[in-house]
Structure 1
Amino acid sequence: MTGPEPHPAQAPAPSLPHRAGRVWAHVGQPFHEDACDFLVIGAGRMGAACALYLRQLAPGRSLLLVEEGGLPNEEGATILAPGVWTAHDIPAGYGAQAEWTREQLLGALGSGKALEVETRPLVELFPPGTDAFPDLLPTPDALASAPDALALLDPARLPLARTDPRALTYRPGSVSLLAAQQAISLGAGLLLNTRAELVPGGVRLHRLTVTNTHQIVVHETRQVRAGVVIVAAGAAGPLLVEQGLGLHTRHGRAYRQFPRLNLPSGPHTPALRTGGLTLRPQNGGYTLVPAIHHRDPHGYQPGGGSLTGVPTGLRREVLEDLVGLMDAVPALAGGGLELGRSSADVPGAWLALPGGRPDAPPQAEELAPGLHLLLGGPLADTLGLAAAHGLAAHLARLG
């Protein structure tokens, strides 16, 4: 399950009518389930999509989707993911999976329901002397219809560009929500505000509640047997496996922040990328998506850095990247960049790195019989849905 899968076929519609599943949103709703065929930990984009595809491909088998927070979880990586599909991010051999993911986004995961997906070009910018790509254009030509984007940078330092006119921007949190809703309509159960702990043969579930002093406590604990457990908890997934079952994994994680650049963008402004930094037009400004250079060591706690001695909310690695690009993109040196005073002021989340590599595609791995780890990682925007479908199809074939 680590290499590219064949082009996934469109998931067939269930042939039999289904009774809608159930949602347990809080501890006031009694939960008595003690067994299921499939149990998915994590209702982010990867977990919710895998749950949906399992309900489509194996409609006769029961499924429980478990999420520690709400839907979508506001502290998870899915809700902060950049949501940029681009052909520029497709590794060799993954073209079919990327195109299928694009079709699923435009078709709202095959349901035809509306999802806010915009066809917004991505323009990648390069310094003088770049000849790695045959389709390079002069930057002023590539951005002729987007003067607001052209005003952010210095064309003399970034004179060359290539454009992906088929790029999409979307909200991964909306994908997660829609996939979970569809899975429930096809009979899946969803258990929210529940922390999962892996145990042999299933999962121990700790249902959480908030006291009147705003403390999160365990209200009750219940063990559920599961034929197959899919861990799709993002960067926390490998830790769940190692802590619960003692199985070592080779995967890593990195902390990614998303600073805000408060300069005008419009509905036709393309997404920009240079030096690994993506500037995604969003909410009238730009969300900055820094490059990921390496995994963060175990035990690392994100903290803010300092710029000319002044404390900021951007960690040192992000600051170094932005300072290195300020000559080519002068807008980064202006007052539009939100630095914050501590890391709490700049949105960020832990991101899984499949195989510990920043450039690795999404991955599904069988760690033990009946236990699968599903990781999205940095390329989840372009390949994540195909990876989730590939695992669901594999499990459905096993019967």
Structure 2
Amino acid sequence: MNGTGLSGQVYAHVGQAFRELRYDLLIVGAGRMGAALARFVMEAAPQVRLLLAEEGGLPNEEGASLLAAGVWHSFVPPEQRVRTERARQLLGESLNTCGVLQGRADPHPGFSPLRDFWTPELDALIDPEVLPFARLDARGGSFSVGSQTLQNAQTAVKLGADLMLNVRAELLGGGGARLHRLSVTNTHQVVVDHSVTLRAGAVIVAAGAAGAHLVEAGLGLITAHRQAYRQSPRLNLPSGPGSRVLRASGFILRPHSGGYSVTPPTVHPDPWGYVPSGGRLAGVPVGLRRELIESVLDNLEALPGLGGEGLVVGRSSADIPGAWVALPAGGWPLSERLDGQHWLLLGGERADLSGLSVAEELALEIAKLQP
């Protein structure tokens, strides 16, 4: 139980009785942002009675936390440098400093000839005639967002936070939520639903792409934030422990399990109710969304590796890893106070770069408000 100095309780299914109907703080969403916030709050204010509620498992296999590229680099605007550097400190040893290489088509301050950074695996990935300039962040690298999320949630529980999995939260005015606990019987046929109303002194919505919708449906508050569905196909070209992350033409190619994971640019926001589906390549149905196919075709000259047999296209969108991502207004991770008791916490596409520091800032703000 929170506030006792003992480890918190983990509620994984409806068979576990839940009687705590009042908390100081409810965090909706145990993805990368919610889990980090819970950890930082418990470190700053261990007396806080905190419940971290997650609709899926941990880390959620359908969420962006498990599929995120997990890439940190220092190629950011000056106004973001303090936050990104703090995020790197918080990443600590979980960051594999393999280096991040950014390619460019035209000369620019800070860029050098690409041949100065050339490595053998780049032969199959990039055309140096199209992208002849580059810069290298030797301090940059990659990390596992899923492992980081799990570790942060576990640390929060060890410090006294309660964690509830398989629960859908419906926000209530006045601070609190209607929690719908979900579980499936051992026949995998019947969904058991147990609902409970919980009050909380403060509620932080850290539900990623679904956050703005939860706030609108539960509190009637409209925000400027949006969402998109982003796929992360695999590129089966050789990579090794020392291979660098490549950023070029809006794509991120991250060395992963002997190949590369591909993070494409987000072309446009998806409306609520949109159902992701695959497109067609030369008239043949594939798993890549039409927008992703267009992005690949537009950049084949610069990144010829995307045009070979190594790119996994699948037969349906189910074959290609994908997840909903938040698109915070302004494009960078943020926290937004909605009223006297509710906050919205969003990571989005650049959560790798400054998400941890934004979560830490909000945690310190929340801690100051506790008695």
Is the TM value for this pair above 0.5?
yes
- Per-residue Cα deviation, 1:21-42 (whole angstroms, up to 9, x for no partner): 1111112211111000000011
Q: 1:275 aligns with which of 249, 264, 268?
A: 249
Matches within 5 A, 1:275-314: 275-314=249-288
Q: Which residue of 2 aligns with 1:43?
A: 30
Q: Which residue of 2 aligns with 1:140?
A: 115
The CA distance in 2 between the partners of 1:257 and 1:344, in whole Å, is: 10
Q: Which residue of 2 aligns with 1:77?
A: 64
TM-fit CA distance, 1:293: 3.1
Q: Which residue of 1 aligns with 2:80?
A: 94
- Per-residue Cα deviation, 1:168-205 (whole angstroms, up to 9, x for no partner): 20011111101111111110000111111101230111
SS at structure 1 position matched to 2:293: helix
Give the alignment's Cα RMSD to 1 decimal.
1.5
Q: 2:221 aligns with which of 216, 222, 247?
A: 247
Structure 1 stretches of 4+ with a deviation exceeding 3 A read none
Q: Please, what TM-score do these two structures have when normalized by structure 2?
A: 0.96
SS at structure 2 position matched to 1:378: helix
Matches within 5 A, 1:230-241: 230-241=204-215
Letter matched to residue 338 of structure 2: L
Q: 1:66 aligns with which of 34, 48, 53?
A: 53
Q: Which moved more, 1:184-193 or 1:151-160?
A: 151-160
Q: 1:25 aligns with which of 1, 12, 32?
A: 12
The CA distance in 2 between the partners of 1:369 and 1:91, in whole Å, is: 32
TM-fit CA distance, 1:91: 2.9
- Per-residue Cα deviation, 1:259-315 (whole angstroms, up to 9, x for no partner): 110010001111111110111110000000001132122322211111110111111
Q: Which residue of 1 aligns with 2:100?
A: 122
Cα pair 1:140 1:150 within 8 Å, conserved: no
Mark the CA change 1:17 to 1:150 in structure 2 (over 3 Å): closer, same or farther: farther
The CA distance in 2 between the partners of 1:350 and 1:276, in whole Å, is: 18
How many residue pairs get matched? 367
SS at structure 2 position matched to 1:379: helix
Cα pair 2:141 2:245 within 8 Å, conserved: no
Q: Which moved more, 1:208-217 or 1:284-293?
A: 208-217
Cα pair 1:208 1:216 within 8 Å, conserved: no
TM-fit CA distance, 1:218: 4.1
Cα pair 2:185 2:192 within 8 Å, conserved: no
Q: Which residue of 2 aligns with 1:149?
A: 122
The CA distance in 2 between the partners of 1:25 and 1:219, in whole Å, is: 13
Cα pair 2:300 2:306 within 8 Å, conserved: yes
The CA distance in 2 between the partners of 1:267 and 1:91, in whole Å, is: 29
Matches within 5 A, 1:149-298: 149-200=122-173, 201-212=175-186, 214-215=188-189, 217-298=191-272
SS at structure 2 position matched to 1:319: helix
Q: Which moved more, 1:297-306 or 1:318-327?
A: 297-306
Cα pair 2:249 2:302 within 8 Å, conserved: no
The CA distance in 1 between the partners of 2:225 and 2:121, in whole Å, is: 40
What is the percent sequence identity of the aligned residues? 51
The CA distance in 2 between the partners of 1:214 and 1:352, in whole Å, is: 31
SS at structure 2 position matched to 1:383: helix
SS at structure 1 position matched to 2:102: strand
The CA distance in 2 between the partners of 1:304 and 1:227, in whole Å, is: 44
Q: Please, what TM-score do these two structures have when normalized by structure 1?
A: 0.89
- Per-residue Cα deviation, 1:46-86 (whole angstroms, up to 9, x for no partner): 00110111111122221000011111110011110000001
Cα pair 1:258 1:288 within 8 Å, conserved: yes
The CA distance in 2 between the partners of 1:105 and 1:246, in whole Å, is: 36
Letter matched to residue 358 of structure 2: A
SS at structure 2 position matched to 1:120: coil
Show structure 1 runs of 5+ residues with no match.
Answer: 1-15, 108-114
The CA distance in 1 between the partners of 2:77 and 2:129, in whole Å, is: 30
The CA distance in 1 between the partners of 2:33 and 2:255, in whole Å, is: 24
Q: 1:103 aligns with which of 76, 81, 89?
A: 89
Matches within 5 A, 1:381-396: 381-396=352-367
Show structure 2 runs of 5+ residues with no match.
Answer: none
Letter matched to residue 292 of structure 1: T
Cα pair 1:66 1:192 within 8 Å, conserved: yes
- Per-residue Cα deviation, 1:189-240 (whole angstroms, up to 9, x for no partner): 0011111110123011111011355346242100110000000010011111
Letter matched to residue 79 of structure 2: G
The CA distance in 1 between the partners of 2:77 and 2:23, in whole Å, is: 36
Letter matched to residue 160 of structure 1: F
Cα pair 1:149 1:265 within 8 Å, conserved: no
- Per-residue Cα deviation, 1:80-114 (whole angstroms, up to 9, x for no partner): 000000111x233121111111011115xxxxxxx
